[in-house]
Structure 1
Amino acid sequence: MGGLSRQQRRALCDQVVRRLDLPPSATYRDACRRTGELMGELLGAQVELRFIALHNTPFSGATVRRADGTYVVFCARSRSWYHRLGILLHELAHVLLGHQPASLSDRAGMSRLTPHMPGKMARILAGRTSHVGDDEQQAEELADQLLERLTERRGRGPEQPAAEVAPHVKRIAEGLAHYPSKIPRE
């Protein structure tokens, strides 16, 4: 599927938000879990989410199709569930846009090993580099819109930024709002 128009992306975001069906009280962790479930529904297969340490790698997430037809979605293990949600929404965007995931049976993907990762994991994630250029940009744009729509639905608390703050700054601030301060308040 090629690039979507702004109107098509907006309609797709509306659909995804409805299908995620997150209550106002849902946490980012709940949203991550539900995103994995939705990926399984859309792919018509079992999807396993794995949060792993991805140090010194050019990516923060990857979706891999196993030989048995199930999928595993690797996501950087971050202390912030908001950050994890952004990564998972990017992987969901690839599915929504019809981009093909890496496959354990893809010999070309298997040959692009990353030397700094353990053997099997490197072989699994190596295929992720098959999504380059336009695919990545399209997935990132759609994921950003989805994240914005999902965070809009959450009530704005006193610690969250005002509406005139740039959207990317707002998303960063919302992600950090859930970390308790180590500085005692007077």
Structure 2
Amino acid sequence: MKKILFAIIVIAAAVWYFDISRKMTETAIRENYQAQIEALQRFDAKPLCDALDDSYIATVTARGGARAPAGTKDKVGSCTELTRTLRRMKTLSERTGGLLEPDYDVEIQSIELSSDRKSATVKIATIMRIGDMTLARSRSVEHLIRRLGRIRSVSSEETVWAYRPE
């Protein structure tokens, strides 16, 4: 009897690990992005970095008059830059009493789930503003997977337009 119970537990765990824990829904993807926006607003880079898979690669193309980070970055490089940027924004916000706090408009333009729902491609348009001034716009395509019940980004191709404040 113990062997049968143990076999059932092992089979259930295998089904969860290899199938159920890896499937995504459009709702789960939207909730994941909402959590990321909330982390941005808190200037908290940790959950954003945790959402990147260890194999993450980002390709960024910079456009516009201001200097924007460009090139290819792995998870470590992306997290380092994100942490530094959010730390600077937090300092700016604190020193101005919240007057110069960034605001993000994120529009999920499309979500394409694979037939097995274990991967997804998401197209996103983002605008970053401080007050009425637009600092940057971006268009990106993210490739997502789900591991152990958590949605993770494995790669991203992004075009960023950065503007000089006037």
- Shorter chain as denominator, the TM-score bin is under 0.3
- Return the TM-score normalized by structure 1: 0.23
Larger radius of gyration: 2
- Return the TM-score normalized by structure 2: 0.24
Higher helix share: 1
Q: Highest relative contact order (Cα 8 Å, sep 6+), 1 or 2?
A: 2
